[in-house]
A and B are shown apart, each in its own frame.
Chain A
């Protein structure tokens, strides 16, 4: 066989690998998969044994050993109510009320991991937040996280995300996730961070 034909076939293998792996990367990406409710996204497949191979792979990469919906319903947010990605130069208010679940928590991550901060505070939970008389509560996202009920963006850029976890939610929540009165995520103000 002529050399150019061998090179062409080798190129075909490389193109095939790029297509196969590229399409897999696109189908297992962390953002925008699942049902959307405002800024929040939720997937019904986490922790289920009959989930699709794509869902299993996605969960294995981005949230391995997640629990099934009977135990936990997860909501993720990568953007605020206006659809803008979180900017650590801005502060945000997450405001909500009673949630239909045994216990809940809201955690902030940078590129999937805890953000170092002086208070070692990475989340707020139902038993730590003090709601007002109407049961309303508020968490702030700020640069330093030193304000009351706040979480820190920290000193580095990255992909910031929130995870709201509802532990042992009311029975109808797993199949009607839009019925949950999800917290709002409102941008309060922004300052220059110098990168």
Chain B
């Protein structure tokens, strides 16, 4: 009995190669895109925000949501929110302000580039009055005093401050909420406001 070697370019070996090509391509493309989707979606939202006039590391305070005002699917229409697209490449950041008291619910949340929730602190956890939250990479330090620090696994991320409106048609009430959120400042750590 003679032994025949299996060649990938001919006969059954070729068809086995073709089948393996299908399987490996399917697995690699599936897993690769699965891992990339959260990063791509974050980048897509950041780019959409920049097209709307927002800047990196600047706290945006858009008006109450309207149809067409957001690129975020299933966005909450009850939010009078503040938002910043974070990039810690040039150093850590500090968010400071006075916790509002007029919201039906209020929270600060920070999301990693892959959309993981890194921080959520609501008005049940942040006491009334001034607060300061440091945002840094693992190798960065913040020397000024802050109430808590969030360590981000990547330079890019997103900061969201949610204030839910009790009555979105009450103009005076909305003006008071807007005034409360104007106390928030996002700045480079260890720098004074306006520096």
A→B interface (CB under 8 Å): 1, 5, 8-9, 12-13, 15-17, 19-21, 23-24, 28, 47-49, 53-54, 56-57, 59-65, 67-68, 70-71, 102-103, 105, 107, 109, 112-117, 120, 122-123, 125-128, 163, 165, 167-168
Cβ of A117: which chain B residues have Cβ within 8 Å of it?
67
Report the interface size for chain B: residues with CB under 8 A from the other chain: 55
List 18 A-B residue pairs with CB atoms under 8 Å apart, sorted by A's residue number: A12-B18, A12-B21, A13-B22, A24-B33, A28-B34, A47-B117, A49-B117, A56-B38, A64-B42, A65-B160, A68-B120, A112-B73, A113-B70, A120-B66, A123-B77, A125-B104, A128-B167, A165-B76
Name the distance in Å between A72's Cβ and chain B's nearest Cβ: 9
B residues 119-175 with Cβ under 8 Å of A?
A: 120, 122, 124, 158, 160, 164-168
Distance in angstroms between the alpha carbons of A47 and B17 in the assembled complex? 42
The stretch of B53-61, B91-99, B105-113, B187-195 that contacts the partner chain: B105-113
- CA of A126 to CA of B29 in the docked complex: distance in angstroms? 45
In the complex, the answer to whether B76 meets A107 with C-beta atoms within 8 Å is: yes
What A residues does B72 contact at CB under 8 A? 64-65
Other A-B contacts than A65-B109, A116-B67, 6 sampled, CB-CB below 8 A, are A16-B21, A113-B68, A114-B67, A125-B165, A127-B104, A167-B164
Measured between C-beta atoms, what is the minimum distance from A177 to chain B in Å?
18
Asked if B23 is an interface residue, CB under 8 A from chain A, the answer is yes
- The closest CB in chain A to the CB of B29 belongs to A20
| Cα of A17 to Cα of B30 in the assembled complex, Å | 8
In whole angstroms, what is the CA distance A176 to B168 when docked? 31
Binding site for A on B (CB under 8 A): 9, 14, 17-19, 21-30, 33-35, 37-38, 41-42, 45, 65-70, 72-78, 104-105, 107, 109, 111, 114-117, 120, 122, 124, 158, 160, 164-168
Name which residue of chain B comes closest to A112, CB basis: B73
**With A67-B117, A113-B67 in contact, is A19–B77 under 8 Å at CB?**
no
In the complex, are the beta carbons of B67 and A122 less than 8 A apart?
yes
Closest to A54 in B: B34
Closest A residue, CB atoms, query B168: A128
A20-B30, A53-B35, A114-B66 given as contacts; is B78 within 8 A of A125 (CB)? yes
Instruction: Kindly list chain A residues whose C-beta atoms are within 8 Å of the C-beta of B107.
Output: 67, 71
Q: Is the CB–CB distance between A63 and B73 below 8 Å?
A: yes
Given contacts A65-B109, A103-B164, A105-B76, contact A60 B33 (CB under 8 A): no
**Cβ contacts under 8 Å, A28 to chain B:** 34, 37
Least Cβ–Cβ distance between A191 and chain B, in angstroms: 23
**Residue on B nearest A16 in the bound complex, by CB:** B25
Min CB distance B180 to A, Å, is 17
Find A60's partner among B14, B37, B78, B166 (CB 8 Å cutoff): B37
- Find the residue from B70, B114, B160 having the highest chain A CB count within 10 A: B114
